[in-house]
């Protein structure tokens, strides 16, 4: 079937069972991810004018790399699968674009060659590619993870094995997943004296996506490690707190209801997004993108999202308090009126972040 995205049209095989069993994988639901990738590539080139090379490390049909090539990136498309690389060649030709196509294990390629920007968009976890991707990236590493159950603690052992951290299945599960992923990437980069800082991250439709900017040196890598830590969370009253450092310092019990606390970590507690970059990416979302409206809305929310772990869900809190929910704008206004920072978040229509704790939120938003 033919698929048009942005400035390109590619051919992809029919996907019988959500991509399973297809000769070459293609997921139409990831169009938003790809539109934001193209906008982020444009914005990043303005931010760092010397960058020119882009590796689509797990290319499948090549749609991501073909779109990068159509935006004048000196592109390499890599896939381990013969059918995939043959399709990448056809899709480049169809769009009259030139790029290098490699049939290779991406880990081998990334260990032997470095690119300004590397994109790892694999099946499930990106961790098997993490070491090589960090070696093969000069400036910006873009990573997708679709294994949300291990990441957010729903598949606990698998999460611990893949990410070397303790994930917990909380009501802020998408953010837990994002911060576990970031923790693993930051720790992997630090092993090579590289600081990998997220400048844009979003959790959307069963995947987490992040863009990590690199800075080299032991000191900056140490600074990144300092932004790892633990979240302590009460499943009963939904109180939570976090502390920085690699040694967990959990309170003995929840200070509000005295019930048992769950601790997750080490997770990334630093900022997940640079608002200025989110704004610059938003300016690069253009009309020909199929998800332009959704992308613009998402980027505006990311830009305004306050920078504190972790978010709450108004509906869950109100249910717990035996109260009716109210319009989000009014709810957030009440927090502002009480002197707290508060914003909506991109994790869901009823989610918000604030510097108030759960007791303060309840009091500030009471009728
Ligand atoms: N990025 C694509 C897109 O936006 O449509 C989707 C990529 S698909 C989820 C993952 C691809 O990774 C598959 O085509 C698979 O053949 C490829 N792959 C799996 N292991 C690989 C490896 N070690 N090196 C390179 N490619 C690999």
| 18 — pLDDT class (breaks 50, 70, 90) | low
CB count within 10 Å of CB 271 equals 17
**pLDDT of 169-194, one tens digit each?**
999 999 999 999 999 999 999 999 99
Q: Is 78 in the pocket of ligand 1 (CB under 6 A)?
A: yes
Nearest to 174 by CA among 191, 194, 193, 154: 154
Q: What are phi and psi of 229, to 5 degrees?
A: 180, -155
With a 6 Å cutoff on the Cβ, whether 136 touches ligand 1 is no
**Ligand 1 touching residue 121 (CB < 6 A):** yes
CA of 101 to the centre of ligand 1 (A): 13
Of the CA atoms within 13 Å of residue 291, those in its CB half-sphere come to 19
Question: Binding site for Zn(2+), residues?
Answer: 234, 237, 254, 257
CATH fourth-level superfamily of 2-304: Vaccinia Virus protein VP39 (3.40.50.150)
Residue 323 CA to ligand 1 centre (angstroms): 47
Q: Does residue 210 have its Cβ closer than 6 Å to ligand 1?
A: no
CB 358 within 8 A of CB 340: no
Q: Label residue 82 by pLDDT band (50, 70, 90).
A: very high
* Domain 312-364, CATH number (from 3.30.365.10, 3.30.565.10, 3.40.630.10, 3.30.56.70): 3.30.56.70
Rounded to two decimals, the ipTM of the complex is 0.99
Q: Give the model's confidence band at 19: pLDDT under 50 very low, under 70 low, under 90 confident, else very high.
A: low
Instruction: Show the tokens assigned to 32.
Output: 């938003």
Looking at the DSSP assignment, which residues form a beta bridge with residue 342? 354
Task: Show Cβ contacts of residue 22 under 8 Å, excluding neighbours closer than 6 positions.
Answer: 13, 14, 15, 16
Which tens digit of pLDDT belongs to each residue from 101-140?
A: 999 999 999 999 999 999 999 999 999 999 999 999 999 9
What gap in Å lies between CA 120 and CA 188, rounded to an integer?
15
Give the separation between CA 294 and CA 169, rounded to whole angstroms.
Answer: 28
Look at ligand 1, atom 22, and give the residue with the nearest C-alpha: 105
Nearest 5°: the CA angle 120, 216, 64 is 20
Average pLDDT of the residues in 230-241: 95
Q: What is the pLDDT of residues 200-216, one digit of tens each?
A: 999 998 999 999 999 99
Domain extents for the chain?
2-304, 312-364
Strand arrangement of the beta sheet that strand 351-354 belongs to:
312-313, 351-354, 342-344
Which helix H or strand E contains 34, and what residues bound it? Answer: helix 31-47
Beta strands at 2-5 and 8-11: parallel, antiparallel or unpaired: antiparallel
- Map residue 194 onto helix, strand or coil: strand
Binned at pLDDT 50, 70 and 90, residue 164 comes out as very high
């Amino acid at each position: 079937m033919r698929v048009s995205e942005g400035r390109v049209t590619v051919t992809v095989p029919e996907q019988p069972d959500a991509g399973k069993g297809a000769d070459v994988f293609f997921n139409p639901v990831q169009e938003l991810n790809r539109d934001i990738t193209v906008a982020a590539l444009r914005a990043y080139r303005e931010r760092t004018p010397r960058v020119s090379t882009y590796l689509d490390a797990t290319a499948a049909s090549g749609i991501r790399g073909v779109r990068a090539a159509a935006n004048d990136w000196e592109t390499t498309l890599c896939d381990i699968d013969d059918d995939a690389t043959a399709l990448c060649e056809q899709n480049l030709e169809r769009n009259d674009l030139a790029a290098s196509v490699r049939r290779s294990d991406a880990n081998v390629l990334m260990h032997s060659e470095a690119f300004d920007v590397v994109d790892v968009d694999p099946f499930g976890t990106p961790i098997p590619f993490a070491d090589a991707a960090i070696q093969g990236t000069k400036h910006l590493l873009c990573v997708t993870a679709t294994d949300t159950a291990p990441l957010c603690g729903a598949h606990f052992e698998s999460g611990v094995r893949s990410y070397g951290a303790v994930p917990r299945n909380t009501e802020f599960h998408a953010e837990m997943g994002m911060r576990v992923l970031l923790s693993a990437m930051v720790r992997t980069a630090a092993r090579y004296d590289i600081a990998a800082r997220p400048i844009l991250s979003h959790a959307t439709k069963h995947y987490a996506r992040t863009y990590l900017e690199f800075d080299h040196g032991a000191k900056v890598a140490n600074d990144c490690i300092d932004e790892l830590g633990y979240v302590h969370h009460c499943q009963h009253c939904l109180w939570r707190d976090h502390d920085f450092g690699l040694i967990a310092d959990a309170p003995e019990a929840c200070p509000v209801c005295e019930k048992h606390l769950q601790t997750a970590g080490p997770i990334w507690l630093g900022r997940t997004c640079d608002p200025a970059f989110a704004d610059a990416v938003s300016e690069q979302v253009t009309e020909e993108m199929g998800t332009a409206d959704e992308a613009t809305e998402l980027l505006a929310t990311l830009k305004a999202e306050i920078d504190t772990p972790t978010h709450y869900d108004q509906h869950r809190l109100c249910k717990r308090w035996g109260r009716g929910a109210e319009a989000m704008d009014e709810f957030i206004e009440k927090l502002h009126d009480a002197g707290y920072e508060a914003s909506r978040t991109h994790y869901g229509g009823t989610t918000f972040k604030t510097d108030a704790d759960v007791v303060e939120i309840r009091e500030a938003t009471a009728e």
